[in-house]
Amino acid sequence: MTSYGGYTNDYSNTSYGAQGGAGGGGFMTGGSQNSPSGGDSQERNDTLRPVTIKQVNESQESGQFFNIDNSHVSQVTFVGQVRSTSIQTTNITYKLDDGTGTVEVKQWIDPDQDESSRPRIDDNAYVRVWGKIKQFNNKKHVGAHFVRPITDFNEISYHLLEATAVHLYFTKGPLTSKDGANGAGGGAYSNGNMGGATGGLGADGLPPGLSANARKIYHCLRTTQQSNEGLHTADIAHRLQMESADLAKGGDELLETGVIYTTVDDQTWAILNTSS
């Protein structure tokens, strides 16, 4: 198991937190990928990044790579549900949906491969994709190295958490321990953008300095039965009998400290569990 910015992962095809490593993928926690001293080599940019489809669609083309969170990405992995399948002579095109958006995934057919040896993928099945972002006529798609069915649905939740953790690393900075050192035991981000989180976590597992409304929202999210998508803000407001302005302010506190994250849209929240 490897550690990146205070989060851990054991996805076998990534090596977050270490240059090189298994599969040559991942990002480096020791410095910026765009550092002048590091150059812009193929080795440094040969990453495998867990993402959502929304991130794929919003990625920005930069030479032979695409940028997500202002960082070069060469390869991506994500999970999604098959909405449609188009089989051609040379390729299979899947339209995938992960709740954040839809994208076409194109997998080329190996003419030497026996058709019966390919995994069966039905419409509405959930799959794991590994491939590269492509763009043609201003429309993005993913050229897949492989597409495989998901048999353990915990993988869907795990992937969403992993993609969120990596997104937080690039947008908020690595987590730090209470003495200021980078490491997996920390509860605060190191770039100074996290407000009250800089003092570590309190006995209730929340950063100090949060308002009463923020703590009520967190408790509601923690104790209310919900799907993997979390709770919509309208549902939270109804349960707490809280004004929308107070809900928005409390939610912003939790989002800024990395305690919760948005899921299918900006108005649907879930708790980010970083304890393991």
Query: What range does the domain containing 166 cover?
Result: 154-271
Domain annotation covers residue 50: no
Predicted local confidence at residue 143, as pLDDT: 94
Domain annotation covers residue 210: yes
Domain annotation covers residue 177: yes
Please state the domain count of the chain.
Answer: 1
Domain annotation covers residue 105: no
Determine how many CB atoms are found less than 10 A away from the CB of residue 141.
19
Nearest Cα to 94, choosing from 116, 76, 73, 120? 120
Domain annotation covers residue 2: no
**Type of residue numbered 24:** G
Domain annotation covers residue 262: yes
Instruction: List pLDDT tens digits, range 145-201.
Output: 889 999 888 899 889 999 998 898 888 877 654 455 554 444 444 433 333 333 445
Helices (H) and strands (E) in the chain, counts: 6, 16
More confident residue, 51 or 114: 51
The predicted model scores a pTM of 0.54
The set of residues, in sequence order, having a beta carbon less than 8 Å from that of 267 and lying 6+ positions away, is: 232, 233, 234
- Take residue 71 and report the two structure tokens written for it: 């960082």
Domain annotation covers residue 149: no
Nearest Cα to 165, choosing from 154, 174, 176? 174
Residue that has been written with the tokens 């690595």 in this structure: 174
CATH number for the domain that contains residue 209: 1.10.10.10
